[in-house]
Structure 1
Amino acid sequence: MNWIQVDELRVTLLVMVALLSWVVLRYTWRNFALEPSRPRAMGWMIGCLASVTVTLIANHFILFWLSWVSISVCLHRLLLFYPERSRAVLATHKRMITARIAEALLAVSFIQLYLWSGDPTLSGTLDYFSATGVVPLGGMITLVIAALLSCAQMPFHGWLMQVVESPTSVSSLLHAGIVNLGGFLLLSFAPLLTEAEAARWLLGVLSAVSCGLAILIMSTRISIKIRLAWSTCAQMGLMLLEIALGYYSLALLHLVAHSLYKAYAFLSSGTVRPIHNVLVRNSWVTLGWFLVSLVMINLALWFSFGHFKPTAAVLLSLSITLLMSQAHKFSWPKSILLALVWVAIYTALTLSAAQIMQDGRVHIGLDLAVAAWFIMLVALYWWLEQHVAHAVSQRWFIRLNAGLYIDEWFTRLALWLWPRPEDRHRYDSVDEEKSAS
């Protein structure tokens, strides 16, 4: 029986993991130079990276699940490296609950896939699907929910913002690598997900809502690491959304680019730098840039892939528009040339990723709905920025700054379902006082 599998997707990610492992381990060795517990930190870090490597090449469901769980165990010890930090302890406890649920769902999904195909390997399951064309919808839905939990999507996102209390190298490892595994999981089962319409809608709606809200909440943050953590939540939502839409090559490109960028961002987060929110100064010029960029990108997508990608076109057009609205020192010809270069780079990278990961059937209805959702969010953000003194804008700023109070509700539920030992002692003492009185 084939326990491991190596293909273009896995080789690409293994090269990325090897590069990040070298950088993170080197940083950790230097960062913990004065720590007496440096060998312990290096040991858990190496164990975590080794587990990630095994997960990437695992073909058998049992090996995949065991390596997935071992990543969680090693990361748990790294997040509790400074156990005296109460916020880190609480965040790790919430992550532990989320991880246990995700692992249970992953096991249930693998069992369903095995009972459906009769083969305990990923390659055998895909071969069985190719022969029959039937999709186990229940197994794909549980797989999608496990991926959403692993990628820290709302409302299970709070721990990701609070574990920044851990060492910087641990945050870099988490945000640049481990949190991306949900995307790898879904890309591994991409042929099945393409035909599972209900699972794709579930993934698309939940990830789009999580991504959009995370972007708005991130704009209210001033701490570098907290802002980066919210950025990870939004980026993971966008990557899962690309998978739901069938843009598998774009999702792979996103996964690799985000990993490299976020590793650098966290490892350099100690550098003092100002934070500037993007401000739109001329609404009509900005609208013109958006429309011109949208036309150029749609033409590039049509000539490159033979079809449009509404959400991808809207998001890339918005990014070009925001760049151009801030590029006051550029002349119009230079600005247009820069926009064309950006579109060309995007097209070339996407075509390169398409050689590794073929796109699935595009869900045009979901695609148009998501594109409209992001345009509405940008309009809301623009209105809030332009009317900062308005009472409605101020109330929404307070709510967004509090994360819409979503994590507070989840924290209460998590501690009620699975109290920490210190919480149990507190509840026991309260019960004793009540019985004594």
Structure 2
Amino acid sequence: MSNATAGKSSYSVGTQLLRLATAGSVDDGKSTLVGRLLYDTKSVLADQIDAVTRASVDRGLSTPDLSLLVDGLRAEREQGITIDVAYRYFATPARSFVLADTPGHVQYTRNTVSGASTAQLVILLVDARKGVITQTRRHAAVLALLGVPKLVLAVNKIDLVEDPAQVFADISAEFNSLTSSLGWATEDVIEIPVSALHGDNVAVRSTNTPYYDGPTLIEHLESVPVDAEPHRVGLRFPVQYVIRPRTAEFPDYRGYAGQVAAGTVSPGDEVLVLPSGTRTTVERIDTADGELATANAGRSVTLILADDVDVSRGDTIVSPQDAPEPIGEFDATVCWLAEKPLRPGARLLLKHGTRTTQAIVGSLVEKFDEQNLTAEPSPESLELNDIGRISVRVAEPIVADDYAVNRHTGSFLLIDTAGGNTLAAGLVGDALSAVELGTPQSA
């Protein structure tokens, strides 16, 4: 995205809440940037600032080390790196924000997957002195596969390079080429030169970057148009719990509790219960605060159906007009998150929505090389942090949409049957199809 375009774009706020995440390599300055965002939006208490100032003085620093506001774990402070996902909350007059602060070290890529899985926008940091590196490409590939709608490249430490204008231009050009190959539209990506340490272009436009005429980071976060549900489908309501009080006051009450994963639902709507295929009508929508006339995506409610039908946890109530066909065998893109490699024939548990079922990995179709944007056909295994396409067969059918159609109903987890550890994050369908893949070069 060109600076001129960035500076002249006219944004309209489409939502009061923006979910965002950070990503980047070790020492790119994520913790300092997050601390700066909290500090500049006045989202930290005075005693926290005093404590950080004292700690900074003890370390011989002349200015407060804002990274101390967010690297709260002792292990993080000792190592000087972020090692876990932490959620931060801040607000401006225009918007409220929920920020997932994710680690940068390669061994914690799985934490980045977790933090970015629900993000509407991700701030990807690079050190201006290093430019686009291996971890930058890895994170960009993961974010593309996760379908993150908007991306900001924060070129941090821009004050530490000799020719900042040229460095920023070169990094922006390389990053634009990468994101274009990964399927992002030009208008969904912006690059901003910042100094998290000094606050340049974070909340205040900097006079030190005359070559940049776009918005500050906070201006962009306040105004970037983000659709809360970018891929709209009809009702998707995974049933989490069946409520049967069996009391004198409610002798015949039967409600189906869960969260609306997509679409909307209102009393009188005809619905389909999957995988059984039973049709019925919504009679009422209950909440702890009373009945609702309509429930939108993201709302947790209890549905009362007109007919006494067989519905249990793991079933999905959908709109009949675009009901997905329950699937027992499918291809999926996965990011492997475990030390032990994945091989064909692995027997695992698959968790999709509120349903958990046994699964067998059939074949490993291909492995994605995020550095060269190539695909290796029929790999022997997927190692830690590898991204690949596999075939999966499940014992019980799941009601899933293609991930490209809906992020909520198109995602799943693969779980270790023995220890219960999460082994992979999966996307139903071929998420790699949006990426311009080449073929590996022979040695």
TM-score band by shorter chain is under 0.3
TM-score by length of 1: 0.25
* Greater helix fraction, Structure 1 or Structure 2: 1
TM-score by length of 2: 0.25
Higher relative contact order (CA 8 A, sep 6+): 1
* Greater strand fraction, Structure 1 or Structure 2: 2
